[in-house]
Chain A
Amino acid sequence: MLLEKEVSTQILCDHCGEVCVEESLVFEEKHFCCIGCKTVFEILSENNLCGYYDLNKNAGISLKSKNFEGKFDYLNKPEIEESLLDFRSKNINKATFYLPGVHCSSCVWLLENFHKIRNGVLYSRLQFLKKELSVSYDPEKVSLKEIVELLATLGYEPLISLQSAEKDNKKDVSESRKLLLQIAVTGFAMGNIMLLSFPEYFKLDLENNVDARYQAFFLYLNFALSMPVFFFGAIDYLKGAWRSIRDLVQHNSKILSVDIPIALGITALFVRSTYETLFLHSAGYWDSLAGLVFFLLVGKWVQMKTYDFLSFERNYKSFFPLAVKVKNGTSTDYKNVADIAKGDTMIIHNEELIPADSTLLSEHAHIDYSFVTGESEPESIWIGNQVFAGGRQKGRAIEVLVNKEVSQSYLTQLWNQDNYKKEKKVAHTQLADNFAKYFTYITLAIALVTGLYWYQHDVSVIWPAVTAVLMVACPCALTLSMPFTMGTVMGILGKNKFYVKNQEVIQLMNETDTLIFDKTGTLTNASKQEVVYLGNTLTDEENQILKAMTSSSVHPVSKAISNFLGNNPDEIGITIKEEKGQGISANHKNHLYQLGSDYFVNVPIDNRDNTARAWLAIDGEIKGFFQIKSGYRENWKQVLNTLKSRFGLFLLSGDKNTDASMLASEFEKTHLFFEQKPIDKLNFIKDLQEKGKRTIMIGDGINDAGALRQSDIGIALSEDSQSFTPASDAILDASVFEKLPLFLNFSKWALIIVKLSFLLSLVYNFIGVGWAVSGKLSPVMAAIFMPLSSISVVLFAVSFTYLVAWRKNLLKQM
C-alpha cells in the first residue's frame, strides 16, 4: 500500500478521471477520488473485469456524494416489482431499465458482462443509443432490488419513474420494420423487372417465333413481380389517398393529402400496364411502377429518421417517482404512487419529489419548486401549510398528509387539460397543403383537356394519352425533394446540437412570427451563479472566517458564497459544525458565527420571506444576507437583438420581477410577464394563437411543459441533451444557445431550397406531360425519364443544402 499525501501534479482518479481533491484513496497502486469509485474498482477486479479500463481510460462515472442506502427498498414490494417486469415466471424474470449513465464502449462491455459480477443474473443486453439494458435473472437467486442497487453502485443508476411501469414503445419499432420490408420487396422487384425488361429496350424481333415466346415469358414474370409492389409496397399510399378522399366527401376536412396525386399516378401505371400485358401482350410500364414506388419509399424512410437517443414525449410521469414511503399506523411501507389516496401520510426524504398535493405535518420544510414554477430559490414552509406536487424537499425527511390524488394535483392537472387528451395535431404546413391541392386539380384538368382533344381528333389515342398524363404527372420528384432537403437540414442541425423532432417542425418553424422565452434556466444559466451580499460591511477577519466556513461545505450555496469571497490565503483554525440543508455554525475567539437559512439563524418572523437566503449572524445578531442569482447566458442580448427583427418577443417567467429593468432593454415593457404559473403560461400562448399568432416557446423545465405543448413549436433548452427535458418539438443544447438565430435562418433557407427543387421537378413534369399529351410516351422513355428526374432533384436539393450550410459555417463541427 502506498500513500501519497503531497504531490506536485494533480492525481486523477483511475476510475472516473476526476481530480482527486483531497488525498486520494489507494488500492492496488491505483488512485481513487472517493469511496464509491474505489468500491467499483474492487468489485471489478474481484471479478476479473478490469478490461473495463483497457477499453477506455478513466471510463467510470464519478460516484461522489451518491448515497443509495434504502433508496430502492420499495422494489422489495411485490406489486411494485411486478409493474417493472416485462416477463415473469418461476425461474426467470425479465426487466428493462433506462440507464442515463451509459456513455462509452466500456459501459457496453461491463453491463453485458453483468452475469459475471452477480450470481443469478442470466443475461444482459444493452441498447447503446437508447441506453436500455434488458436483464434476465433468476428470482430465486437474486432480487430486482439487488440488481438495481448493484447497477447504482457501479455508477449506472437506473432511472425508475412512474412511466417505467408503462410499456408502450413497441409500436414504432414494428412500423419502421414494415417500411424496411416494403423497401426490400420493392427493390427486389425493381431490380428484376428492369433486368427482364432489357430485351424489350433493345427491341425484340416479334416476327421471329423464338423471341415472341420469350417475350411472353418475361412479360408475365414482370406482371407477377409487380403484384407485391402494388399490393404491399404501395399500399400505404393507396390507403392514405382513400382516407383523404373519404374525409373530403364526408366534409370532415378540406385538405387534399399529397397521397392523392401519388396514388393516382400509381394506379394509372398499374391499370394501364395490366391492360397492356393481358390484352395487348406488350410490355407495360412495370419497370416505371416499381422504380417509382421504390423511390417514394426511400424518401419516406429518410423522413422517418429521428434521434433514437432523445425523447420528445415526456410528461410528468417520467419525472415522478414510482413509489413513495407511506406511514401505515406505526410502521412504514411503500406504495405505488399511482395508488396514493387522500388521507395517506407520506414520508419524503432529502432530495425526494412530493408526488401529490399535501399538507405539511412536520414542523418545517424547505421545498424547491424550481421543477414546477421555475423559481430557483427553495421556499420555506411551516407546519399546517400546503405543499404541492412536484416540489423537492431539501434537508431532513418530512411527513405530509395527502389531500389530493396524484392525477388531481395542481401540477398534474396540466396534463388533464384538453390539449393533452388528444394527440398533438400533426402540423399541416401551408406549403404541403397548397401544393397537393393545386397539383391534383391541375393534373386532373390537363388529363381532361387531353382526353377532350383526342376525342375530337383520334379516339384511339384517348386511353394512352390520358393514362400517360396521370403517370408522368405523379409528383414523385416533388415528394422526394421535401424529405431529402429537410432530412439533410435535420442532420446538419443535429450535428450542431439542435435536435428537431421531425421534418414538419422545420417547415413549421418558417411559419411562426412570435418567440416566447422562459427566464430561469433559459435566458439564465443555472450553473452560472452570481452572489450578492446585502448588510453590514464585513471585516477582513469575518471574511476569512466565512471563507473557512463555506469552503468546508459541499452544499451548492456554500460553494457559490465561497467562490464569491475569493481567495484568502491565511488559514484560521476554527471548529465548524454543519447541519445538512440548514446552515453552518462556527466558533472563533468565543464568538458564534452562524450562516444559513432564516430558520437556522433565527431571523425575526417579520424579516422572513419565502425566498431562501443565506443569513449571517454573529453571536445571534444578524449582520446581513447573501443572495444567489443565476447569471444570464453569454450573448443573450445579442441573440434577442438579432431575433427582434423577425419575431415578436415575449418573456414569461415564474420568478419575481427583480430583473424587469434589465430585461426591459431587450423586450417591450408590455411583453414582460412575471410570476406566471404553468397554467398561466399555457393560457397566454392559447390567447396569442387565438389572435392569429404562430408561436415558438423556448423553455427548460416542467413548469413550461404546458406552454411547450400548446405552442405551435416548443423548444426545450437543455444543459445536457442526454438529460431529461419535457415533451417538446425540438431540443436545443444550451451550449449553442447563441446560434439560435442562425438555426432559424438556416431553416428558412431549407424552405427556399425545397421551393427551388419543386420548380426543377415541375420543369421535368412539364417536359413529361408534353410527351404524354401527344400520346407518344413509350415504356422505355418512361423507364429512363422518371428515375432520372427523381435522382437529379434529390441530388440538387441535398447538394444545395450542404452549400448553404457550408456558407453559414454550420459544417465545422462535422
Chain B
Amino acid sequence: MQVIILLVIAALVVAGGFLAAFFWATKDGQFDDTITPAVRILFDDSDKSKKGE
C-alpha cells in the first residue's frame, strides 16, 4: 500500500507538468487571439491553388 504515496506524487508531477505547459502557452500569448489561428489552419500551404480548379 506504500505505493499509493508514490502514485499520488507521480500524478501530481504529471499534472504539474501540464500546468507548467499552460503557463508557458499563456505567457507566449496563445490565448490572446483565439480566432485567427482557427481561420489560418484552413489554408493550404502550397501556392498551386490554381491547379485545383
User: Are A188 and B19 in touch, CB under 8 angstroms?
Assistant: yes
Say if the beta carbon of A778 comes within 8 Å of chain B. no
- A91 contacts the other chain (Cβ, under 8 Å)? no
Q: Which of B5, B12, B49 contacts A54 (CB 8 A)?
A: B49
* Distance of A326 Cα from B2 Cα, bound (Å): 83
User: Which residues does chain B contribute within 8 Å of A173, judged by CB atoms?
Assistant: 29, 32
Binds B, one of A104-112, A382-390, A483-491, A583-591: A104-112
Q: Is the CB of B52 within 8 A of A127?
A: no
Chain A residues numbered 211-241 whose CB sits less than 8 Å from any CB in chain B: 214, 217, 221
User: For the complex, would chain A's binding face be called helix, strand, loop or mixed by DSSP majority?
Assistant: helix
Residue of A nearest to B19 (CB): A188
A210 within 8 A of B: yes
Number of interface residues of B (CB under 8 A): 29
Q: Which residue of the partner chain, among B8, B36, B47, B48, contacts A108 with CB atoms under 8 Å?
A: B36
Query: How many Å from the CB of B41 to the closest CB on chain A?
Result: 10
Bound complex: CA A180 to CA B34 (Å): 14
Whether the Cβ atoms of A192 and B40 lie closer than 8 Å is: no
Distance to closest chain A CB from B31 (angstroms): 6
Contacts of A109 in B (CB 8 A): 43
Which one of A45-53, A271-279, A443-451, A660-668 contacts B? A45-53
Q: Mark A142-172, 1 if CB is under 8 A from B, else 0.
A: 0000000000000000000000000000000
In this assembly, does A177 line the interface, its C-beta being within 8 Å of a C-beta of chain B?
yes
- A128 with B33, Cβ < 8 A, contacts A49-B47, A181-B26 known: yes
Q: Does B10 contact A (CB under 8 A)?
A: no
Known A-B contacts A127-B33, A177-B31; A50 and B23 likewise in contact (beta carbons under 8 Å): no
Kindly identify which residue among A48, A129, A130 contacts B50, using a CB–CB cutoff of 8 Å: A48
Query: Cβ of B15: which chain A residues have Cβ within 8 Å of it?
Result: 188, 191-192
Chain B positions within 8 Å of A531 at CB level? none
Within 8 A of B (CB), among A121-139: 126-130
Asked whether A767 is an interface residue with its Cβ less than 8 Å from the other chain, the reply is no
Q: Is the CB of A177 within 8 A of B26?
A: yes
Interface pair A108/B31, CB less than 8 Å apart: no
User: CA of A48 to CA of B47 in the docked complex: distance in angstroms?
Assistant: 6
- Complex Cα distance, B47 from A72, in Å, reads 31
CB-CB contacts below 8 Å: B6-44 with A:
8, 12, 15-16, 19, 22-23, 26-27, 29, 31-33, 35-36, 39-40, 42-44
Instruction: Determine if A221 and B36 form an interchain contact, defined as CB atoms under 8 angstroms apart.
Output: no
Q: Are A130 and B33 in contact (CB under 8 A)?
A: yes
Please tell me if A196 contacts chain B, counting CB pairs below 8 Å. yes
Chain B residue contacts of A55, Cβ below 8 A = 42-43
> What separation, in Å, do the CA atoms of A210 and B3 have in the docked complex?
13
* B33–A129 CB distance below 8 A: yes
Q: Which of A48, A49, A127, A192 is B12 in contact with, Cβ under 8 Å?
A: A192
Closest to A210 in B: B1
Residue of A at shortest CB range from B38?
Answer: A128
Cβ-based interface call for A3 (8 A)? no
Contacts of A214 in B (CB 8 A): 4-5
Chain A neighbourhood of B53, CB < 8 A: 54
List B contacts of A127 (CB < 8 A): 32-33, 36
- Min CB gap B36→A, angstroms: 4
Return B45 CB to nearest CB of chain A, in Å: 11
By a CB distance below 8 angstroms, the chain A residues around B12 are: 192, 221
Q: A177 to B33: give the CA distance in the assembly, Å.
A: 12
Bound Cα distance from A105 to B42, whole angstroms: 9
CB pair A196 B52 closer than 8 Å: no
Verify B36–A126 contact, CB threshold 8 A. Answer: yes
Q: A129-B35, A217-B5 are in contact. Are A177 and B27 (CB under 8 A)?
A: yes
Closest CB in chain A relative to B16 CB, distance in Å:
8
Please report the C-alpha to C-alpha distance between residue A217 and residue B43 in the assembled complex, in whole angstroms.
52
Complex-state Cα separation, A452 to B47, whole angstroms: 80
**B12: nearest residue on chain A (CB-CB)?**
A192
| A184 on interface, CB distance cutoff 8 Å | yes
Residue A185, interface by CB 8 Å: yes
Which residues of A, 50-104, contact B by the 8 Å Cβ criterion? 50-51, 54-55
Contact A50 B36, CB 8 Å, known A181-B23, A221-B8: no
> Contact: A50 with B31, CB < 8 Å?
no
- CB pair B1–A108 under 8 Å, yes or no, is no
Q: How far does the Cβ of A298 sit from chain B's closest Cβ, in whole Å?
A: 15
Distance (whole angstroms) from the CB of A86 to the closest CB of chain B: 14
B49 smallest CB distance to A (angstroms) = 3
Q: In the assembled complex, which residues on chain B have CB atoms less than 8 Å from the CB atom of A221?
A: 8, 12
Which residue among B16, B32, B35, B36 has the maximum number of chain A CB atoms within 10 Å of its CB? B36
Mask: chain A, 237-264; 1 = CB below 8 Å from B; 0 = not: 0000000000000000000000000000
- Determine if B36 and A180 form an interchain contact, defined as CB atoms under 8 angstroms apart: no
- Distance to closest chain B CB from A195 (angstroms): 8
Chain A residues with Cβ below 8 Å from B36 are 108, 126-129
* B19 lies within 8 A of A185 (CB): yes
CB-contacts of A700-741 with B (<8 A): none
Tell me if A184 and B22 are in contact (CB < 8 A): yes
Residues of B within 8 A of A48 (CB): 47-50
In this complex, which of A128, A181, A221 has the most chain B Cβ atoms within 10 angstroms of its Cβ?
A128
Question: In whole angstroms, what is the CA distance A27 to B36 when docked?
Answer: 32
CB-based contact B26/A180 at 8 Å: yes
* CB-CB nearest in chain B for A221: B8
Look across to chain B and name the residue whose beta carbon is closest to the beta carbon of A218. Answer: B8
- Please tell me if the beta carbons of B5 and A184 are within 8 angstroms of each other in the complex: no
Residues of A contacting B47 with CB < 8 Å? 48-49, 51, 116
How far apart sit A221 and B7, CA to CA, in the bound complex (Å)?
13
Complex contact A105–B1 (CB within 8 A):
no
Cβ-defined contact, B52 with A54, below 8 A: yes
Bound Cα distance A466, B19 (Å) = 36
Write out the residue numbers on chain B whose beta carbons fall within 8 Å of the beta carbon of A116: 47
Could you tell me if A51 and B26 are in contact, using CB atoms closer than 8 angstroms?
no
In the complex, the answer to whether B33 meets A50 with C-beta atoms within 8 Å is no
- Option from B4, B39, B48 in Cβ contact (under 8 Å) with A128: B39
8 Å CB contact of A112 from B8, B16, B33, B40? B40
Least CB distance, B11 to chain A, in whole angstroms: 8
Asked whether B42 lies within 8 Å of A50 as measured between CB atoms, the reply is no
How would residues 24 to 53 of chain A score, 1 for a CB under 8 Å from any chain B CB and 0 otherwise? 000000000000000000000000111100
Q: Are A108 and B40 in contact (CB under 8 A)?
A: yes
- List the 8 closest pairs (A to B, CB-CB), nearest first: A51-B49, A128-B36, A48-B47, A105-B39, A127-B33, A128-B35, A188-B19, A108-B39
**Pairs across A and B, CB under 8 Å, 8 listed:** A48-B47, A128-B35, A130-B33, A181-B26, A184-B19, A184-B22, A192-B15, A221-B8
Apart from A127-B36, A128-B36, list 4 A-B contacts with CB within 8 A: A126-B36, A177-B31, A177-B32, A184-B19
